[in-house]
Amino acid sequence: MLSSHGVPILIVKRCIFAFISLTFLFVAPVGFSQAVAVKEWKGEYFSRKEGGLFVKTIASGFRVPALANVQVTVYGIIQQKYYTFSNTQVTPDAAPREIWKLPSGKYQVSRIDFTDGAGVRRMWLAKQDKPISFLIPRVMLSNLGLWTLSPEGVSGLGVKFETAPNTYIEKNPKKDSSVAAVINGFTGSIQQIIGGKQVVDAADKGYSDQNSIRATASFTRQIAMFYKVNLFKHNRYSKDVLGSLAAFDANLRSCYTVALEKNSALKGDLVLQILASAKTGTIRQATRSKGTISDGAMIDCILAEIQQIPMPVQENMVGELTFMFEAK
33 by Cβ neighbours in 10 Å (0-12 / 13-18 / 19+) ranks as exposed
| Domain boundaries of the chain, sorted by first residue | 35-184, 219-327
Q: Does domain 219-327 have CATH number 3.30.2420?
A: yes
pLDDT (tens digit per residue) in 199-234: 776 666 665 444 333 333 333 456 778 888 888 888
Using 50, 70 and 90 to split pLDDT, how confident is the model at 112?
very high
Phi-psi map region of 294: left, alpha, beta (phi>0 left; psi -120 to 50 alpha) = alpha
Fold of the domain built from segment(s) 35-184: Immunoglobulin-like (2.60.40)
Mean pLDDT, the chain, whole residue set:
81
The model carries a pTM of: 0.61
pLDDT digits (tens, 9 = 90+) for 241-299: 887 787 777 778 888 888 888 888 899 999 999 998 887 788 889 999 999 999 999 99
CA torsion sign for 99, 91, 184, 127 is: positive
Is 303 in contact with 310 (CB distance < 8 Å)?
no
3-state SS assignment for residue 326: strand
Q: Is the pLDDT of residue 96 over 70?
A: yes
The percentage of the chain sitting over the pLDDT mark of 70, rounded to a whole number, equals 84
Asked if residue 197 lies in contact with residue 180, where contact means CB atoms within 8 angstroms, the answer is: yes
Specify the DSSP element, H or E, that contains 268. Answer: strand 268-277
Give the pLDDT confidence score for residue 123 in this predicted structure: 95
Is the model's pLDDT at 90 over the cut of 70? Answer: yes
Summarize the confidence of residues 287-315 as an average pLDDT: 88
> In a 10 Å sphere around its CB, with 0-12 CB exposed, 13-18 middle and 19+ buried, how is residue 306 labelled?
buried
Shared fold status for 35-184 and 219-327:
no
pLDDT per position as a tens digit, 276-292: 888 778 888 999 999 99
